[in-house]
Structure 1
Amino acid sequence: MPPQSKKKKISPASAAASAAEEKKKKKTKSKTAPKSTKAANSGEDSESNEEEEDDEEDEDESDVDGEDDDDTFIDVEIEFVTPKEEHFLNLKSYLTAYCDGSQYNVSELVDMILKQDDVGSVIASRVSAEEEEDPLGVMTVISLDKAKEFKCLQEIKAHIVKKAPKEEAKLVRDALNAKKTGLILSERLVNVPQDIGGPLIKHLFDEIKWAVKDEKKKEFDFDQYVLVSRCFLDTFTPPPSVAGGGKKNNNKKRKKGEKEEEVTELVFPNLEDEIFYEESQWSFMWEAGGEDKPQEFEDSKPMRMCMLIDAKDVGTICEDVQEMFLALSVENAED
């Protein structure tokens, strides 16, 4: 029996995460996004157009709350760059809470990431060529076979085993101690545009594929991967039309004293983690700690989920991730 069957009452909800993301992306655009019409206006406009713009700006200066309304968009380039020494403090801040507030040698883990320049990327933003890049997150994979040499990996493995269901602890321990198990580290700010998930996943596994062709880099020839992902449990009461079971029961009144039906959804801030979850061999969750909740999830319970992914399923995962983001881009375009 796996630690947690995926056929359970809690269901992934990418739509909920996507909706939250739309709120977060109002002030930032990726380099592929069209520029704001206001930002594109030039000084060559006619006087009448300038007057119209002035009127519009006067109307937009304050919103219904009486506050200034600033919807100016900034074009930001998102890049995948090789980890560098100057990224140390940012990466450390993103990985400090990886063990839910428990102390572990996070500095040693960051040093490992920085020295491993052939596999793994730092997600960085840049407003212009003259500006310095701003690290927003990291995605890489570390061989757990190196736990004999590095204390940080021993501490991470011990933390995961401690959180595993007791009856399944041996199964989890065996996976973590297997010689060809890679630990996928995927941590980034919540307000990073979600559509980087597709190319980010492809880039990582392409790098792994290229690395194993080198006889000196066989450490990346993995049979399986462990991913510890951030997620949230969102519990709410749906409208009567949903709770009542569809159109036939839309007008069905709740009986006196009958409790409202609550629904719990599993939401992944990094939407691609939903695909990893669906394709995983087994998974289990625990309540997370050690970090502040993003504002978009302030009413949700923060969780961590550990998953085991068979290396044979990586191709399917990459394809499904691409399809998911393509579908979301079509939905956003229609909206």
Structure 2
Amino acid sequence: MAKRKEIENKRGEEIDSEESSSEESSSDDDTNMLDVEFEWFDPQPEHDFQGLKTLLRQLFDVDAQSFDLSALADLILAQPLLGSTVKVEGNETDPYAFLTVLNLQDHKDKPVIDKVITYIRAQAKVNEALSNLDDLVQNSDKARVGLILTERLVNIPSEVVPPMYKMLLEEISWAIEEKEPYDFTHYIILSKTYREIASALDEEDTPKSKKQKKASKKGNAELFYFHPEDEVLQRHASCFGGYEYLVEAAGSDSKRTFQELGIKPQGHMILIEANKFEAAVKELQEYFSQS
């Protein structure tokens, strides 16, 4: 299918520059600015399968092995008029980011969605803040739930996100006019966060008193967002919260952010009622236009 819409978004990136091809650097502090043009596309079944699988694996982190990511990618690509991908070198390249919505009730008989529903319910039961999700995702008489999946490579700026949400709103509106099953009452956004934690590599050399001090502060460690837009979306949420991954993760040392610290990722879910979703998207646009 042809490209739906192209939005030009050139972002300056600093790169180290010792000497350009045409002129010598006059200072060690000189940098060049690299302009990157992002393009928004409809999902492309013939081009995006592997790229979507990679991004889904990143989104679900260690729990990705619990899901049939191929089936999930196929389901996303089966609705090419809904959702977006972001690319930088044309339609036939792998996506650097994506956003889509899946109807949980409409696809509940598909094994991969049944697994996702079971996963959401299990996580909702271990975090009281998410308890409302348990009943919503299993009871189609009470709610029609759209599952929003979105992820991007780590070096892709957050500014690519608001246009994808804006286009999703438009596409859902068009789909409803065509009597397609996207008249949702609620949206669940699957995401992820992390906390900085002490590295286990140094524990053997750490005095016991310091170990106890670190342990006492562990529960109060600051929460960081892989997706900064989640902080905006949460202002419009009925509930939101984090959860530990079901699969035991590798040690924090494999994901160090600083010399003495590692990071511990965890899952995160946000529930937004459909009548508040448009306002949330509007605030996203305003927030990132000012940043």
* Alignment TM-score > 0.5, same fold: yes
- Structure 2 residue aligned with 1:311: 274
Query: Within 1, Cα distance between the matches of 2:13 and 2:122?
Result: 49
Query: Within 1, Cα distance between the matches of 2:280 and 2:69?
Result: 29
Q: Residue type matched to 2:185 in 1?
A: D
Does residue 271 (structure 1) correspond to residue 224 (structure 2)? The answer is no
Preserved CA contact (<8 Å) 1:287 1:301: no
- Structure 2 residue aligned with 1:24: none
Preserved CA contact (<8 Å) 2:127 2:243: no
Does residue 285 (structure 1) correspond to residue 242 (structure 2)? The answer is yes
- Structure 1 residue aligned with 2:10: 32
Equivalent residues in 2 for 1:80-95, closer than 5 Å: 80-84=40-44, 85-95=46-56
Query: Within 1, Cα distance between the matches of 2:48 and 2:168?
Result: 18
- Structure 2 residue aligned with 1:21: none
Preserved CA contact (<8 Å) 1:79 1:124: yes
- Structure 2 residue aligned with 1:199: 163
Query: Within 2, Cα distance between the matches of 1:303 and 1:321?
Result: 23
- Structure 1 residue aligned with 2:137: 176
CA offsets 1:200-251 (integer angstroms, 9 cap, x no match): 2211112111211112x1x111000111111112469xxxxxxxxxxxxxxx
Equivalent residues in 2 for 1:314-333, closer than 5 Å: 314-328=277-291
Query: Within 1, Cα distance between the matches of 2:232 and 2:126?
Result: 26
RCO higher in structure (CA 8 A, sep ≥6): 1
CA offsets 1:27-66 (integer angstroms, 9 cap, x no match): xxx8433698x99xx99xxxxxx8xx5361xx54xx8xxx
Aligned to 1:300, the other structure's residue is in SS state: strand
| Structure 1 residue 153, shift from structure 2 partner | 0.4
- Structure 2 residue aligned with 1:134: 94
Equivalent residues in 2 for 1:71-86, closer than 5 Å: 71-84=31-44, 85-86=46-47
Given candidates 103, 107, 112, the residue that maps to 1:147 is 107
Q: Residue type matched to 1:195 in 2?
A: E
Where structure 2 has 5 or more consecutive residues not aligned to the other structure, the ranges are: 1-7, 199-212
Does residue 121 (structure 1) correspond to residue 121 (structure 2)? The answer is no
Query: Within 1, Cα distance between the matches of 2:243 and 2:11?
Result: 37
Preserved CA contact (<8 Å) 1:197 1:270: no
Query: Within 1, Cα distance between the matches of 2:99 and 2:133?
Result: 23
- Structure 1 residue aligned with 2:205: none
Q: Residue type matched to 1:197 in 2?
A: V
Query: Within 1, Cα distance between the matches of 2:188 and 2:25?
Result: 57
Taking a change above 3 Å as real, the CA distance of residues 167 and 268 of structure 1, as seen in their structure-2 partners, is: closer
Q: Residue type matched to 2:24 in 1?
A: D
Preserved CA contact (<8 Å) 1:235 1:265: no
Does residue 54 (structure 1) correspond to residue 24 (structure 2)? The answer is yes
Preserved CA contact (<8 Å) 2:102 2:147: yes
Aligned to 1:116, the other structure's residue is in SS state: coil
Where structure 1 has 5 or more consecutive residues not aligned to the other structure, the ranges are: 1-29, 44-49, 64-68, 237-258, 329-335
Q: Residue type matched to 2:224 in 1?
A: V
Does residue 157 (structure 1) correspond to residue 117 (structure 2)? The answer is yes
CA offsets 1:240-269 (integer angstroms, 9 cap, x no match): xxxxxxxxxxxxxxxxxxx79966332222
Query: Within 2, Cα distance between the matches of 1:86 and 1:173?
Result: 35
Taking a change above 3 Å as real, the CA distance of residues 322 and 232 of structure 1, as seen in their structure-2 partners, is: same
Preserved CA contact (<8 Å) 2:125 2:131: no
Aligned residues: percent identity? 29
Q: Residue type matched to 2:133 in 1?
A: V
Given candidates 229, 249, 262, the residue that maps to 2:191 is 229
Larger Rg: 1
Aligned to 2:48, the other structure's residue is in SS state: helix
- State TM-score, norm by structure 1: 0.65
Q: How many equivalent residue pairs?
A: 252
| Structure 1 residue 152, shift from structure 2 partner | 0.6
Preserved CA contact (<8 Å) 1:233 1:266: yes
| Structure 1 residue 326, shift from structure 2 partner | 2.5
- Structure 2 residue aligned with 1:208: 172
Q: Residue type matched to 2:269 in 1?
A: C
Query: Within 2, Cα distance between the matches of 1:96 and 1:86?
Result: 17
Query: Within 2, Cα distance between the matches of 1:78 and 1:54?
Result: 30
Preserved CA contact (<8 Å) 1:197 1:271: no
Query: Within 1, Cα distance between the matches of 2:255 and 2:193?
Result: 11
Aligned to 2:10, the other structure's residue is in SS state: coil
Taking a change above 3 Å as real, the CA distance of residues 316 and 172 of structure 1, as seen in their structure-2 partners, is: same
Aligned to 1:134, the other structure's residue is in SS state: coil
